[in-house]
């Protein structure tokens, strides 16, 4: 259980992030200063930076998924990296519609999509995930091309799953339905990763 001090810190962190996202969505990322965010959130600038070390982090914090950690720490004995990741994203898809703040999610997508700096930061984060995952899959083997190819395919699949989910919400698909479709998409994506393109050819004929 979270103590009172931790609860207050989490509330402050959430308030800063919510204020920042609202201002960015209203006026544009580049038009809003860190000083304005701190003032609107009722905190000192130094306090804001204690929670978010850069302005970009106010939007991108929590966006990236540590797939390498799932493969290393979250994998049961005898289970392959693909199986471990499938279970992770299957669980995320099944968490339930009530846990997603659609309005905040769409605001974040709008802010990121309208800022080249944020798009670059997201791309950099994805590349970092890819190389970290490749290093784990290589398991100490220097220059292991197979590990890099696997990591590239996995990160591309996960990114596509996320983008498809976001596009459905933007198109007005109800959250519960978008969640059901995401669950099916996860199975398709990881079937392709595990068994290859030929595994779905029979379904199309």
**What pLDDT does residue 205 have?**
47
Residue 114 is predicted with a pLDDT of: 92
Query: Which pLDDT tens digits describe the chain residue by residue (205 residues)?
Result: 568 888 899 999 999 999 999 999 999 999 999 999 999 999 999 999 999 999 999 998 867 677 888 887 667 778 888 998 999 889 888 875 556 788 888 899 999 999 999 999 888 888 988 999 999 899 888 889 999 999 999 999 999 999 999 899 889 898 889 989 999 999 999 999 999 876 555 555 4
d(CA 52, CA 60): 10
Q: How far apart are CA 121 and CA 123, in angstroms?
A: 5
Taking 3-state DSSP, the helix, strand and coil percentages for the chain, each rounded to the nearest 5, stand at 75, 0, 25
Alpha carbons within 13 angstroms on the beta-carbon side of residue 59 total 29
| Domain edges within the chain | 4-59, 62-197
170: nearest Cα among 109, 116, 95, 113: 109
Give the pLDDT confidence score for residue 73 in this predicted structure.
67
Tell me the pLDDT of the chain averaged across its residues.
87
Per-residue confidence (pLDDT) for residue 68, from 0 to 100? 83
Q: What is the pTM of this model?
A: 0.80
Q: Report pLDDT for 60.
A: 86
Q: What is the model's pLDDT at position 160?
A: 94
Q: In the CATH scheme, what is the code of domain 4-59?
A: 1.10.10.60
Give the pLDDT confidence score for residue 145 in this predicted structure. 95
Q: In this predicted structure, what is the pLDDT of residue 97?
A: 53
The pLDDT value given to residue 78: 80
């Amino acid at each position: 259980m979270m103590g009172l001090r931790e609860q207050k810190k989490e509330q402050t962190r959430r308030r800063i992030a919510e204020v920042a996202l609202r201002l960015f969505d209203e006026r544009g990322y580049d038009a809003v200063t860190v000083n304005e965010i701190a003032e609107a959130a009722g905190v000192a600038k130094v306090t804001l930076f204690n929670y978010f070390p850069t302005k970009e982090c106010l939007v991108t914090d929590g966006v990236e998924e540590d797939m390498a950690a799932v493969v290393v720490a979250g994998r049961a004995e005898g289970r392959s990296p693909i199986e471990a990741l499938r279970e992770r994203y299957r669980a995320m898809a099944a968490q339930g519609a009530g846990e997603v703040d659609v309005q905040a999610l769409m605001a974040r997508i709008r802010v990121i999509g309208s800022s080249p700096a944020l798009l670059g930061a997201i791309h950099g984060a994805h590349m970092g995930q890819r190389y970290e995952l490749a290093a784990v899959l290589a398991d100490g083997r220097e220059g292991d091309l197979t590990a890099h190819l696997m990591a590239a395919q996995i990160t591309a699949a996960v990114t596509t799953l996320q983008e498809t989910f976001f596009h459905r919400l933007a198109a007005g698909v109800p959250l519960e339905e978008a969640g059901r479709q995401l669950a099916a998409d996860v199975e398709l994506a990881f079937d392709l990763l595990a068994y290859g393109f030929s595994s779905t050819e029979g379904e199309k004929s």
